[in-house]
Amino acid sequence: MKIPADLYYAPSHEWVRVEGDQAWIGISDYAQHELGDIVFVEMPELDDELDAGGQLGVIESVKAASSIYSPVGGTVVAINDELEDAPQLINEDPYANYIVVVAMNNPGDLDKLLSAAAYEELCRKEQGGE
């Protein structure tokens, strides 16, 4: 299970890469592995306002639909169109394939997120609790 050290993580298994005031958001390796084969990603639209912890979209695997949440609040400034025709890219490389980019309205949201080490601990607990 890959957990890059330079990203922030939400307990709901999304990652955030920060570039300036922009947050690139995707789902973690743990999350894609738990979901299994991803067949559809329902994304927000450009200019949508997202709340920190609010729903960002839905990921559909072969077996089930799961909500994904925005770790930070802000405005959607880019969506990854590639996922429309190739949602399985998230299974192939969850960190290279972001879902949306959000212009953050409150960088303080990042303080509530987990470091790679803390996130790894969380995943280990969830796995052990199965």
Partner 1 sequence: MNLKRTALFPMHQKYNGRMVDFGGWELPIQYESIIKEHHMVRKKAGLFDVSHMGEIEVRGEKAEAFLQYLLSNDINKIAPGQVQYNIMCYPDGGVVDDLLVYKYTTEHYLLVVNAANTDKDFEWIKENVFPGLEIKNFSDDYAQMAIQGPWAEQILQKLTDLELQSIKYYWFQANVEIAGKTAIISRTGYTGEDGFEIYLAPEDAIDVWEAILTAGGEDIAPIGLGARDSLRFEAKLPLYGQELGPDISPLEARLGIFVKFDCGDFIGREALLRQKESQPPRVQAELLMLERGIPRSHYEVCQEGKVIGQLSSGGLAPSLEKNLALALVDREYYQPGAEVEVMIRNKPVKAQIVTGAFYRKKTRAS
Binding positions for partner 1, rule: CB under 8 A = 36-37, 39-40, 42, 58, 60, 62-63, 65, 84, 91
Least CB distance from residue 63 to partner 1, whole Å? Answer: 6
Which is closer to partner 1, CB of 82 or CB of 84? Answer: 84
Rounded to whole angstroms, the Cα distance separating 129 from 124 reads 9
Rounded to whole angstroms, the Cα distance separating 5 from 13 reads 15
Least CB distance from residue 6 to partner 1, whole Å? Answer: 28
Provide the 10 A C-beta neighbour count for residue 47: 8
Which is closer to partner 1, CB of 5 or CB of 62? Answer: 62
Rounded to whole angstroms, the Cα distance separating 61 from 67 reads 11
Which is closer to partner 1, CB of 5 or CB of 64? Answer: 64
